[in-house]
Structure 1
Amino acid sequence: YHTRFGVHLLATGGQTESAGALGIRTNRVKIAAYTISGFCAGIAAILLVARIGSAEPQINTSLLLNSVAAVVLGGVSLFGGRASILGPAIGALMLTALVNGLTLLNVSAFYQPLAVGAIVVLAALIMRYQK
């Protein structure tokens, strides 16, 4: 909200055609967003390999579900146009509390992603009908 790039990014994510009509170069904004995202993914991959000690394509595939769940629980719209930094951080804390609670209740590790997925679907449905 406080930078030109941030406002352009929100506008492009919400309505690409409208942002283009306002004079925003949507292709450049998309390329910049994907470049920044790829750079952050590369840094995360380096840190994960350093932590685990080996590189394997299937390491921590559950992190993908958890990252999407944290964002959805944080109130970020899956359809674009709404974003904040505080929401996904709070969503990550709530998701961590959920997973830790399931572990303390001796729920099998095979059923924990099922619970997380159900929470994501429920949050997405609530967000959809809230609009």
Structure 2
Amino acid sequence: MYPDELQYTSEHEWVRTPGEQEGSVRIGITHYAQDALGDIVYVSLPEVGDVVEAGTTCGELESTKSVSDIYAPVSGEVVGRNETLDATPELVNNDPYGGGWLFEVVPSDRTELDELMDAPAYLLTIES
């Protein structure tokens, strides 16, 4: 349910290294987050070329229950976004670690990746 090869944030985002673009990481939300949100009906993502800062809001997920912010797990330039989510936002619910990914960033400070949690540490945060 929480793949070991990913890293996690306390805001329930995951980071996969490497991403598809050279030097990038891929970002999405965890199963826990999509389950808590309910059926996602709209996704607002940062644009390619945007610069995001770790820990700051860079998008939104709108569900039938509420609107939730997306936080950047690392600082850097957005180099890709999942355009498929415009037409099929439910992919975030159905496949949060695959087709429901959100965006890719080339980190400006790769040491920020060292501050992210592994799967066991993330599990402790959601179980407490």
TM-score (structure 1 length as normaliser): 0.24
**Higher relative contact order (CA closer than 8 Å, sequence separation 6+):** 2
TM-score (structure 2 length as normaliser): 0.24
Decide which structure has greater helix share.
Answer: 1
Decide which structure has greater strand share.
Answer: 2
